[in-house]
Amino acid sequence: MLGSLKAAIRLKFVASALLGTAVVGGTVPASARVDGSPQAVHPIFARVQDAPQNDLALGRFSAATARFGLGPVEVVDIDGDPAPRAAEKLRAGIDLVRKLAFGPALTILDDAAAEVAATGGGGLDALALSDLFLFRAWTISRADFNTDHVTPLTARTSAYAELLRAAMATPTRQLNQQQYPPLLLEDFARAVTELASRPQGTLIVHAAPESFVTCDGGAPVPGPATFVGLAQGDHLIHIDEPGWASWGATLSVNAPTVEMQVPPRRALTLDDVVAAAHARRMGTRFALVAEPRPGQDGGLSIAFRLVDAGGARVDAAVAPLAGDPGILDSAVMRLDEQARRLDRVPPLNPPAVAAASTDSAGAGAAAATMAALPPAVLLAPPPPRPRLSENPSGWARDHWPLLTAVGAMVGTALVLSISVAADRPAR
């Protein structure tokens, strides 16, 4: 009976080993497809400026294209929003105001205020926005630390409008009595009191869940965003959303509840016509474009587009970046297979660029389009895997998990045979 128990334990151990072997064998990556057919697609990764996990998305796409033998991936950078300069201009303007150089300071601060109005305060927090309007008020009024200095009423009235906006951004701010002229301190305190007495309103911004909305330089709020307790008046709204140009504006809150819809914006994407030009330059009939895009529940996805050489979109797919990589591979494989099928059929209408090249003007335009493309930045695929017939040692190194698993199976079977033979009762 003891021998039977030992045999059962050994059998359980062998079953566990075989299960582990199956798992190890299943993790061996598939070989890249090499069927000798001409490449139908040119893979392009559109790298959007400041997009999250750019490198991870590029790596996953490159691995998928290499797995199906699609050749190197070209990386094309997409122009994002221009870098904000309001903060830089604000620092320079404040430095000039401190030196009482009001003329040059007002010019610089006016430029910063124009940028803030266009972007909704993008790049500046609430304190910086308050400083912008506060120092603009100082330059307009030209207030002096000398109490005998008299500021014209018109200038003081214009400066007071700026102080209202400064207090709107930071309604609880208290100014340092030693750093600002008495007249400016007096008018700022009056602006804070006036805003506190105004009716309050609620602002509802109907923005996408992937976006972040800021009001008067405050903390970003995921869309759709609701801001309550706002003093009625002008407020700065700024929206950032991955894959789209940022948007901002000055919005008037003049009712208990105000709702706004985010207007259409420029997509930060590679144009289909440009993608087609890249494909023609690489001698393929289609471009397979991959771009990182926001996914469900705040995750990141990769959007795929199949574009023909004439700039027409043939098909598209979306695959999550996280989770099962097989979904991403399936999307790449399906679009590549579709391109291969279409590549066997002559196009009904040749690409517009090719048709235009029949005359001299069209040929010049086509040449100019090709010449305007920047040099291709290609990401080389992994080196080809060695074959058993050509390089046995290299093939063994490349397949060591499988060989190890097979060896474990053989060894386990041998040990099991010996153990069973040892436990067999003598006759």
Query: Using one digit for the tens of pLDDT, what is the confidence trace for 130-181?
Result: 999 999 999 999 988 887 777 888 999 999 999 999 999 999 999 999 999 9
Q: Is the dihedral of CA 341, 343, 348, 352 positive or negative?
A: positive
Domains of the chain by residue range: 2-25+388-423, 32-80+268-379, 86-197, 200-261
Q: For the segment 26-74, what is each residue's pLDDT rounded down to a tens digit?
A: 333 333 344 556 789 999 999 877 666 788 889 999 999 998 888 799 9
Q: For the segment 231-266, what is each residue's pLDDT rounded down to a tens digit?
A: 999 999 999 987 789 999 999 999 999 999 999 898
pLDDT band at 20 (very low <50, low <70, confident <90, very high): very low
Q: What is the pLDDT of residue 325?
A: 82
Tell me how long the chain is: 427
pTM: 0.64
Q: What is the pLDDT of residue 151?
A: 82
Q: What is the pLDDT of residue 332?
A: 95
Could you tell me which CATH number the domain at 32-80+268-379 has? Answer: 3.40.50
Rg of the Cα atoms in the chain: 33
Q: Where are the beta strands (DSSP E) in 299-371?
A: 300-308, 313-320
Contacts of 207 (CB under 8 A, 6+ apart): 213, 223, 224, 225, 239, 241, 262
Q: For the segment 68-126, what is each residue's pLDDT rounded down to a tens digit?
A: 888 799 999 988 788 889 999 999 999 999 999 999 999 999 999 999 999 999 989 99
Local structure of 230: helix, strand or coil: strand
Confidence check: pLDDT of 311 > 80: yes
Q: What is the pLDDT of residue 74?
A: 94
Question: Which of the two residues, 310 and 151, has the higher pLDDT score?
Answer: 310
Residue 56's closest CA among 278, 397, 290? 290
The string of DSSP codes covering 280-294 is HHTT-SEEEEEEEEE
Count the neighbouring beta carbons within 10 Å of the beta carbon of residue 191. Answer: 23
The pLDDT > 70 percentage for the chain reads 70
pLDDT band at 412 (very low <50, low <70, confident <90, very high): low
Q: What is the pLDDT of residue 375?
A: 65
Local structure of 306: helix, strand or coil: strand
| H-type alpha helices, 347-399 | 352-356, 360-372, 392-398
Site of tokens 């069973």: 420
Tokens of 215: 């009001």
**Cα angle value 333/334/337 (rounded, 5°):** 80
Q: For the segment 316-365, what is each residue's pLDDT rounded down to a tens digit?
A: 999 988 878 889 999 999 999 999 999 887 765 555 544 444 344 444 44
Q: What is the pLDDT of residue 148?
A: 74
The string of DSSP codes covering 185-212 is HHHHHHHHHHHHHSPEEEEEEE--TT-E
Confidence check: pLDDT of 280 > 60: yes
